Structure 1
């Protein structure tokens, strides 16, 4: 099957089609948990400047990232800016999506690993999100714990959580849609 055709089935079928429409609305931000990277956290001795010391995308995660980018294009979502955590799996997800230049930002670094900095990371992330006023969608590729701290939602790997800033409090986010990747096929 042609990859472009597979995308529609994987990313925009059923209720997800409404979420793609939501992503085109002004003021919406897409928070994306990095694609498939087996394991939890990072190995002891990890270093931010050395991807070999971190948990990284699997081949499935690399393909998921490419499909996710194709889905953005197939659904004609205009992206204004792409930001990623400085962790390699987030940068790689964002880069493989091919939605534009990827700005790395420490505010979206891994809150699971940096447990003692969770409040600081969340505060900094809220400041970045509340300050976004550009044209098109702001896409942020980060980690599950970061998204949960911002929204109360723990996404699966590769999931998009669409949010809108809530009324009078630009730091408060309301979840307005979710797009989950299709489950991995097993066997045969």
Structure 2
């Protein structure tokens, strides 16, 4: 039993630290002391088709109508937590951008540091460092939501989020990121 508890504590340390209470995490997000990193809503399949082009959504894996509703529920959840406006940043992939847009919390700004690493895994450490530097360069107190991909979130946190799952991460952002709360897909 003691060994299991030790292993759990060790795993939590590797994954970015002991979790705060969920309400404290939401408060930190509202105050801009944390950031919400969200995996895009479900898009059937894995990776992108061989003919993938960033400028053509028809060549990408996209959200279906069922999962667009999941993104809308994220917007409703955020509003219920007192976040009605936020700076929204997303990967330039259509499924991430569409997830961010469907939340209806403000304009969505493309951020290449959130782009999928699926085909560029050797860049994971560099791209994660770029994201950390970029987030930490924003004015403290900025309420922000980032929409990205499983491989990116795993590179930053060591965690494997479900589609549509959100992670509230402490600011300043670090490598690995310090996890305050995991929020299940609404």
Runs of 4+ in 1 over 6 A off after TM superposition: none
Task: Give the TM-score, by structure 1 length.
Answer: 0.80
- Is the counterpart of residue 56 in structure 1 residue 58 in structure 2? no
Q: How does 1:147-166 map to 2 (within 5 A)?
A: 147-165=153-171
For 1:186, the equivalent position in structure 2 comes to none
Structure 1: tracts of 5 or more residues without a match: 1-14, 183-188
Match of 1:70 among 65, 76, 88: 76
Distance of 2:140 and 2:110 partners within structure 1: 17
The Cα RMSD (Å) is 2.0
Distance in 2 separating the partners of 1:67 and 1:106: 25
Q: Distance in 2 between matches of 1:48 and 1:26?
A: 31
SS at 2:86 equivalent: strand
Match of 1:171 in 2: 174
TM-score under structure 2 normalisation?
A: 0.80
Decide which structure has greater strand share.
Answer: 1
Structure 2, unmatched stretches of 5+, are: 1-20
Separation in 2 of the partners of 1:164 and 1:75? 17
The correspondence for 1:131, drawn from 133, 137, 157, is: 137
Distance 1:165 1:83, change over 3 A: same
Of residues 84-93 and 21-30 in structure 1, the stretch that sits farther from structure 2 once superposed is 21-30
Deviation at 1:57, TM superposition (A): 0.6
Partner of 2:146: 140
SS in 1 for 2:171: strand
Other structure's SS at 2:135 match: helix
Residues 41 and 163 in structure 2, CA contact (< 8 A), matched pair in contact too = yes
The residue that corresponds to 1:10 in the other structure is none
Residue deviations 1:84-124, cap 9 Å, x none?
A: 00000000000010111111011110011322322332121
The answer on whether the counterparts of 1:80 and 1:135 sit within 8 Å (CA) in structure 2 is no
Is 1:92 aligned to 2:95, yes or no?
A: no
1:6 counterpart residue number = none
Report the number of matched residues. 165
Q: Is the Cα contact below 8 Å between 1:34 and 1:93 reproduced in 2?
A: yes
Which of structures 1 and 2 has the larger relative contact order (alpha carbons within 8 angstroms, sep 6+)?
Answer: 2
